[in-house]
Amino acid sequence: MNGAGPNVCVVIPTLNELDTIGELIAELSELENINVRAIIVDDGSTDGTLEIVGATSWWDDDVQLINRKKKLGLGTAIRTGIMRALELHPPPDYIVTMDGDLSHDPQAIPLLVGMCDSESVIIGSRYIEGGEIRGWNASRHIISRVANIVARVFGKIPARDCTSGFRCYGVDLKRAIAPDLKASGYDIQLEMLSEAARRGFRIGEAPIVFRDRENGDSKLDATQILKYAMTAFGLFIHAHNSRPHIADWKAYSRGNRVS
């Protein structure tokens, strides 16, 4: 870290990301006006991902590897990375979660950070003005749209893209909700937003361009979709009435930039 700008810890779950993880780490290190540290949580990659991250972490103190040796689930990987981030010294001001396959553009991180504060979560959104998805077939679009409708209706989450894993969390929000998270799979994306909304934290969205992965193994399968639906139904059973304010990303674009 160079000491200028906010401290940001980026948590990246990986599973066979050989073709992209090196480039992603390099791009994170080149971001300006923020201090970036990366925590890579690997679930048993066999393609050389571990070797690349391990070698990088050996000489770069801003990169840490958590090798879990087998596939334990996206949700537990994100939780593990976040809990490690909260133990860092100096502590981060913000925690960003993103995929390791370059479907999330690291150049969007300053935008998310600039909109965030200690008690907010800002979602990198594909479904607000300026957001876009590239490379999906019709079935992926349908599944995603339905999942987001389920989240908004059953989870009472005031956001258009509840399933996006590209997010920036204020550290106070994360300290409050992280110990209580239970989800082990993709449904953690829904659980985190639901907990933030239930406790009155601010939820906002910033537009991103999402590019579908070209290599590596997808972390989303039929089992994860079923768990997501069951989590949404559970949230419906325990429905609540509080609705936090949704941040207006356009206000950011008028001048609230990282400096």
* pLDDT for res 252: 45
In a domain? residue 184 = yes
Tell me how far CA of residue 131 lies from CA of 215, 230, 233, 249, in angstroms. 23, 28, 28, 11
Strand bridging mode 35-42 / 7-14 = parallel
For residue 2, is it within any domain?
A: no
Residue that wins the pLDDT comparison between 177 and 187: 177
Q: What is the pLDDT of residue 146?
A: 84
In a domain, 74, yes or no: yes
pLDDT of residue 142: 85
Q: For the residues 49-78, what does the mean pLDDT come to?
A: 95
Residue 255 lies inside a defined structural domain of this protein: no
Domain membership of residue 259 (yes or no) is no
Number of domains in the chain: 1
207 within some domain: yes
Q: Does 96 fall in a domain?
A: yes
Residue closest to 8 by CA, chosen among 32, 24, 43, 26: 32
> How high is the mean pLDDT of the chain?
86
Out of 76-85, 99-108, 123-132, 185-194, pick the least confident. Answer: 185-194
**250 falls within a domain:** no
Residues forming a β-bridge with 125:
207
CATH classification at residue 63? 3.90.550.10
Q: Quick check: 233 pLDDT over 80?
A: no
Query: Domain range holding 21?
Result: 7-242
Give the model's confidence band at 245: pLDDT under 50 very low, under 70 low, under 90 confident, else very high. very low
Backbone φ and ψ for 113, nearest 5 degrees, come out as: -65, -40
